């Protein structure tokens, strides 16, 4: 939204919220909506949002009448991960773009499950989707590859050699899971296990702000014994400010990808990695096949084996400042919201 506003475009955030029962939820409806309102105003968005509560029982931000009027004047819907249903008032918008941030999983799950037919444009963060490098059928849908946009004004460069910890933000299990040709395409846990020994073998501090169930004490102990420092994700990345600080006071990113992204060779690129790069922080990430379209080796490095991961850590330390500057340069050339959003607008005929 910040990137669109910088291009002079009036935009509105729309979300839906299911029924909240304070006796079974951690927070009340009033707390949730007031916190969201404070965050929107902190970002200078005022009331340019609408939270549709419990299938239209109430509207927060814009009133129901204001929301309907906004929809009638809107040229483009960017539907992230496809939460638009056929009976939604948003169907009145003439250009409806599905933004796929889970390439591989999305194409396995298929059009019917995800209501893809309600859209007329399709964008994906998977650089290989629809090409011969991607093994999953797209069933006639033309997926346009994009990179995750980052607002460079909100993510200033912060290069500091004194930063020592490699880091990432992750979910031990993740909610994604799919079955393709008899094989399971899963989340991050299996990939962390493949690279379990990296912190010890590389003698590097790697902090992971990771959601992991408290009762999974055996897994937490396993990670700790192998040198992973698992920190509270809600404390270190639970709101925009803490998330940005966690990244900007890191030395670089080190992260595995979800098994489904890797197995499908989707070419997935993380919006989190874009934030590291924008901050002038090098990123060393597990390969998903995006190297054929996005330069890797300076500022952004990839690995497919444990030896390559250890070598990448050593490369970053050996030429740290050069990698930092290359990271920011990649963000400016490829991930800037100005660059990515202009591509999207041009493709849908609003350039």
Pair 339, 293: CB distance under 8 Å: no
Q: What does the DSSP 8-state code read for residue 147? A: P
Tokens of 53: 């509560």
pLDDT of residue 344: 98
Please state, for a pLDDT cut of 70, what percent of the chain lies above it: 98
Q: Residue 343 and residue 351: Cα distance in Å, rounded?
A: 8
- Confidence band for 214, pLDDT divided at 50, 70 and 90: confident
Q: Residue 282 and residue 135: Cα distance in Å, rounded?
A: 30
Tokens of 109: 């799950």
Q: How far is CA 259 from CA 80, 204, 263, in A?
A: 21, 24, 6
CATH architecture of 166-335: 3-Layer(aba) Sandwich (3.40)
Alpha helices in 166-239 (DSSP H): 189-194, 198-202, 217-225, 233-237
DSSP codes, 59-90: EEES-HHHHHHHHHT-SEEEEET----TTSGG
Q: What is the pLDDT of residues 104-142, one digit of tens each?
A: 999 999 866 777 888 999 999 999 999 999 999 998 999
Q: Average pLDDT in the 280-306 region?
A: 97
Q: Average pLDDT in the 146-163 region?
A: 97
Q: Which residues contact 165 (CB under 8 A, 6 or more apart)?
A: 205, 206, 207, 229, 250, 251
Pair 198, 309: CB distance under 8 Å: yes
| pLDDT at position 12 over 70 | yes
**What residue spans in the chain does CATH classification 3.40.50.2000 cover?**
166-335
| pLDDT at position 87 over 90 | no
Tokens 């204001």, located at residue:
66
Out of 63-67, 148-152, 214-218, pick the least confident.
214-218
Q: Average pLDDT in the 284-304 region?
A: 97
Mean per-residue pLDDT of the chain: 94
| pLDDT at position 173 over 90 | no
Q: Hey, which of 18-22, 87-91, 114-118, 161-165 has the most confident mean pLDDT?
A: 161-165
Q: What is the dihedral of CA 100, 330, 190, 217, to 10 degrees?
A: -100
Q: What is the pLDDT of residues 35-64, one digit of tens each?
A: 999 999 999 998 899 999 998 999 999 999
Q: Average pLDDT in the 269-292 region?
A: 98
Q: Residue 344 and residue 224: Cα distance in Å, rounded?
A: 43
């Amino acid at each position: 939204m910040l990137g669109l506003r910088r291009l002079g475009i009036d935009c509105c955030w729309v979300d839906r919220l299911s029924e909240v029962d304070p006796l079974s939820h951690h927070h009340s409806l009033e707390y949730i909506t007031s916190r969201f309102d404070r965050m929107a105003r902190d970002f200078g968005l005022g009331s340019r949002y609408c939270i549709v509560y419990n299938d239209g029982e109430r509207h927060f931000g814009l009133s129901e009448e204001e929301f309907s009027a906004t929809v009638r004047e809107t040229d483009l819907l960017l539907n992230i991960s496809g939460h638009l249903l056929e009976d939604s008032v948003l169907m009145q918008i003439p250009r409806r773009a599905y933004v796929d941030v889970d390439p591989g999983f999305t194409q396995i799950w298929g059009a019917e499950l995800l209501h893809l037919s309600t859209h007329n444009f399709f964008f994906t963060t998977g650089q290989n989707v629809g090409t011969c490098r991607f093994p999953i059928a797209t069933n006639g849908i033309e997926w346009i590859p994009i990179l995750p946009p980052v607002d460079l004004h909100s993510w200033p460069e912060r290069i500091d050699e004194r930063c020592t910890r490699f880091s990432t933000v992750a979910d031990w299990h993740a909610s994604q899971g799919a079955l393709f040709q008899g094989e399971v395409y899963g989340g991050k846990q299996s990939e962390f296990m493949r690279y379990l020994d990296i912190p010890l073998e590389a003698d590097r501090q790697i902090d992971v702000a990771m959601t992991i169930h408290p009762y999974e004490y055996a897994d937490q102990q396993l990670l700790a014994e192998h040198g992973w420092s698992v920190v509270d994700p809600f404390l270190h990345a639970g709101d925009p400010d803490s998330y940005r600080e966690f990244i900007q006071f890191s030395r670089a990113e080190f992260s595995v990808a979800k098994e489904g992204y890797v197995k499908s060779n989707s070419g997935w690129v993380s919006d989190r990695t874009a934030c590291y790069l924008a901050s002038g922080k090098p990123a060393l990430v597990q390969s998903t096949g995006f190297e054929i379209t996005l330069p890797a080796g300076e500022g952004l490095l990839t690995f497919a084996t444990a030896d390559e991961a250890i070598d990448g850590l050593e490369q970053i330390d050996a030429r740290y400042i050069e990698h930092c500057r290359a990271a920011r340069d990649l963000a400016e050339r490829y991930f800037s919201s100005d660059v990515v959003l202009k591509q999207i607008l041009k493709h849908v005929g609003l350039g």
